[in-house]
Amino acid sequence: MPTRPEAADTPAASARGEAARWADAADAVRSLGNIVPIPSEKEVVRYFDPALDLGKRAARWGNELPDHRLTTLARFAAGLAVAEAEAWEQGKADVAVRAYADRRHLAGDRLIHWAVPWLIAVAEAHPGVSQSAEGAAQILLEIGDSLRPAPTLSGTEGLYPPGEDAFGPLAIERPVGEYLYSLWSGVALVGSGSVQVTADAPEAARDWEALANGYRRASRIWDRFALRHPGTGALWRDLALRAAVFADVVDAHRKA
């Protein structure tokens, strides 16, 4: 019977393995750059800019992020995983725990919630790069299942301010057309694809019924994600609700 864990089971080895997965995700996303611009959270969500928070967190590790695009954040997460591994190997448990906590926050609050929807949209809109986009999304989902930054809970009372969920404010206070370009509607748009084409068209030319059906389809997809990926299930449950609500908003706009 083994008297101590294998090397692969040590916290340092686990962190180094995660660092490699972050690097693989960054490489897969970078390969999409010839097809679509690599975005930041601000460009996908539109109405929220985490620049100040990211800058402060990077500075604590002596790092200055050149930008806040997905590839950069994935590389930053990989660096935090390496920092954790090195800290464990040097007996600096406090530094290791801090690196883990910062990486978990980065994954759940600054990266996975918008990056995965964007990658899924890219895969649908551009079949030629769907393998790379879906592969990157799968890596992020697996990391999320390991770190569990947003597990599915029985309720959300007290987790967020009143009137908000994991993504931000729930109230729809802008014109419907503007929300089509924000993840707050429940879908990330990249400029083409079944839902995306109608969003890019002038308002009078949009097929609002098809658009509403696209949001309902997205809601079902996020519901499946919530079941399959419990480590980030709360994110997909919230996004499913947003997409379902916005489908009704689009329907009401169409009938008005």
C-alpha–C-alpha distance, residues 126 and 141, integer Å: 21
Q: How far apart are CA 113 and CA 164, in angstroms?
A: 15
Same domain, 127 and 234: no
Q: 247 and 200: one domain?
A: yes
Q: Is residue 3 part of a domain?
A: no
Q: What is the pLDDT of residue 191?
A: 57
Which residues does 111 contact at the CB level (< 8 Å), separation at least 6?
Answer: 41, 70, 73, 74, 77, 140
Question: Which residue, 93, 126, 147, sits at the end of a domain?
Answer: 147
Query: Does 32 lie in the same domain as 108?
Result: yes
Distance, in Å, from the CA atom of 154 to the CA atom of 52, rounded to the nearest integer, reads 32
How many other C-beta atoms lie within 10 A of the C-beta of residue 79?
Answer: 18
Flag whether 92 is in a domain: yes
Residues 44, 143, single domain; the answer is: yes
Q: Does residue 124 sit in the same domain as residue 60?
A: yes
**Residue 154: inside a domain, yes or no?**
no
Q: Please give the Cα distance from 189 to 220 (Å, whole number).
A: 17
Question: Per the domain annotation, does 120 fall within a domain?
Answer: yes
What pLDDT does residue 204 have?
A: 54
Report the chain's terminal Cα–Cα distance, integer Å: 72
Structural contact between residues 93 and 55, judged by C-beta atoms closer than 8 angstroms: no
Residues 41 and 89 in one domain: yes
Q: Which of 104, 131, 147 lies at the terminal end of a domain, its last residue?
A: 147
Domain that holds residue 181: 176-255
Q: Looking at the structure, tell me whether residues 101 and 36 fall in a common domain.
A: yes
- Domain-embedded: residue 103: yes
pLDDT for res 200: 52
156 found inside a domain: no
Residues 56, 119, single domain; the answer is yes
The whole-number pLDDT of residue 156 equals: 56
Same domain, 121 and 200: no
121 & 54 share domain:
yes
Q: Looking at the whole model, is its pTM more than 0.95?
A: no
Q: Which residue, among 120, 136, 103, has the nearest Cα to 23 in the 3D structure?
A: 136
- Report, in angstroms and rounded to the nearest whole number, the Rg of the chain calculated over CA atoms: 19
132 and 25 belong to one structural domain: yes
- Count of the separate structural domains present in the chain: 2
Is 158 a domain residue? no
Tell me the pLDDT of the chain (256 aa) as tens digits.
344 444 458 999 999 999 999 999 999 999 998 899 999 999 999 888 999 999 999 999 999 999 999 999 999 999 999 999 999 999 999 999 999 999 999 999 999 999 999 999 999 889 999 999 999 999 999 999 999 999 987 555 557 788 899 898 888 888 888 888 899 999 987 754 434 434 455 455 568 888 889 999 999 999 999 999 999 999 999 999 999 999 999 888 877 6
pLDDT for res 210: 86
Question: Does the residue 1 lie in any domain?
Answer: no
Q: What is the pLDDT of residue 82?
A: 98
Residues 143 and 248 in one domain: no
d(CA 215, CA 24): 30
Domain closes at, from 101, 131, 147: 147
